[in-house]
Amino acid sequence: MATSFSATLPLHGSQESRLSLTPIRLAPPSSFLGSTRSLSIPSSRSRLYHAHAARRSPVVGVQEVVKDKKITNSLLITKEEGLELYEDMILGRSFEDMCAQMYYRGKMFGFVHLYNGQEAVSTGFIKLLTQSDSVVSTYRDHVHALSKGVSARAVMSELFGKVTGCCRGQGGSMHMFSKEHNMLGGFAFIGEGIPVATGAAFTSKYKREVLKQDCDDVTVAFFGDGTCNNGQFYECLNMAALYKLPIIFVVENNLWAIGMSHLRSTSDPEIWKKGPAFGMPGVHVDGMDVLKVREVAKEAVTRARRGEGPTLVECETYRFRGHSLADPDELRDAAEKAKYAARDPITALKKYLMENKLANEGELKTIEKKIDELVEEAVEFADASPQPGRSQLLENVFADPKGFGIGPDGRYRCEDPKFTEGTAQV
């Protein structure tokens, strides 16, 4: 089934069965949409790439990792990185468990979609990004926001509908926005976030090519298996490859779209294959193993930063809970759930850290305790926060305070004292 690992090389290259991670090289000059201007990389950025290469552990093919994990001495992560990954995944899990508790106590309401079981994907990708890189997600976005840096307090308050939430209570569970952390939502319609993410990647390229700014920001778009049957997905695969945009399309294939099995709804269930059809590499990775996801993510992000274009990454993962807290989750087989529960990404990372002597039981327990306290504190903070004031109802519909637009002097018209109510006679 979808447990086999396979990958393809980009574009017009030959079909190889493994993802080969070539050492970092500077991209050849390419033309932007047929223009004769070539993509030149300024010297400052090439220094950055060399620095990257020096810092990284020796590059290995991911398939090699699977086979040689026990044999090779070189580890995939350092102790600090390992603890950072562990902490992030524990935060995601604890937070979501707390959400379930709060929902059943009536503090949270509406639609709440929990991410339990999929933490490896979020942590594996987002912990490689900088603050100026963007993340676009779906309604299952709490953990993406947390990994990207939005504080647990802000997310919890948003879920409670309080004014201290990241969107002042106006967005809710499905609409986590944070301009500071470049978390561009939180979209309820599946497939809606993909073009928006493609647009953010487009801006990154535009800033570099047209505005001549030093910009190598990438965008990561997260979405599910159901979305891969939606038209917008294909439209964006086409345009991202056509314009060589710095975007990574991450499919969190948890095999179920509410109650619709991926196999029942898709003519060819292997989603990674759809990448090469549009001219980009398609990679399949075990989404329950954060280290494998991280390795694939590193290559995809570096590819995008080099200006070589998009990558489609299919992460085979599983959600331990139902689609949302209102989903009775009756259609999924208990045996399937048990099989994936045995592959819990947090347990797997814990085992790796301890077996490779990167951390001991005590350190991990300290992290778990710290996160527990953090989440408890977030709940207390959210509880204590006030609800939005009545005047907030009508605020922020427009960025423009009164809706009259901008005048010839570049300021808002309503700020001009001579602009009175009445007809505009020109």
Partner 1 sequence: MWGILRQRAVVDGGLSLRRTRSALVSARSYAAGSKEMTVRDALNSAIDEEMSADPKVFVMGEEVGQYQGAYKITKGLLEKYGPERVYDTPITEAGFTGIGVGAAYAGLKPVVEFMTFNFSMQAIDHIINSAAKSNYMSAGQINVPIVFRGPNGAAAGVGAQHSQCYAAWYASVPGLKVLAPYSAEDARGLLKAAIRDPDPVVFLENELLYGESFPISEEALDSSFCLPIGKAKIEREGKDVTIVTFSKMVGFALKAAEKLAEEGISAEVINLRSIRPLDRATINASVRKTSRLVTVEEGFPQHGVCAEICASVVEESFSYLDAPVERIAGADVPMPYAANLERLALPQVEDIVRAAKRACYRSK
- Closest C-alpha among 375, 138, 107 to residue 257: 138
**What part of residues 6-25 is at the interface with partner 1 (CB under 8 A)?**
none
Check binding of 111 to partner 1 (CB under 8 A). no
In the complex, least distance from residue 311 CB atom to partner 1, rounded to whole angstroms: 18
Stretch that binds partner 1, among 1-9, 204-212, 346-354, 359-367 (CB under 8 A): 204-212
CB contact at 8 A, 96 and 143: yes
- Taking a C-beta distance cutoff of 8 angstroms, is the pair 175, 188 a contact? yes
Residues 214-243 that bind partner 1 (CB under 8 A): 231-232, 235-236, 238-239, 242
Rg for the chain, CA atoms, rounded: 23
The number of beta carbons lying within 10 Å of the beta carbon of residue 159 is 29
User: Shortest gap between Cβ of 91 and partner 1 (angstroms)?
Assistant: 23
What's the CA angle centered on 174, arms 275 and 390, to 5 degrees? 150
Q: Is residue 203 a contact residue for partner 1 (CB under 8 A)? A: yes
Size of the site for partner 1 (CB under 8 A): 69
Sole residue written with tokens 């990574």? 248
Report if residue 34 touches partner 1, rule: CB under 8 A.
yes
H/E run at residue 253: strand 247-253
Q: Does 310 interact with partner 1 (rule: CB under 8 A)?
A: no
What is the number of other CB atoms lying within 10 angstroms of the CB of residue 276? 19
**Among 293, 284, 272, 283, which residue's Cα sits nearest to residue 348?**
293
The residue among 32 and 320 lying less far from partner 1, judged by its C-beta, is: 32
User: Minimum distance from CB of 250 to partner 1 (Å)?
Assistant: 16
DSSP per-residue string spanning 272-303: GGHHHHTTS-EEEEETT-HHHHHHHHHHHHHH
Rounded to a whole number of angstroms, the minimum distance from the CB of residue 152 to partner 1 is: 18
Of 177 and 222, nearer to partner 1 (C-beta) is 177
Shortest gap between Cβ of 398 and partner 1 (angstroms)? Answer: 5
Is residue 192 a contact residue for partner 1 (CB under 8 A)? yes
Binding positions for partner 1, rule: CB under 8 A: 32-35, 37, 134, 136, 167-171, 175, 177-180, 184-189, 192, 194-204, 206, 209-211, 231-232, 235-236, 238-239, 242, 395-400, 402-410, 413, 419, 421-426
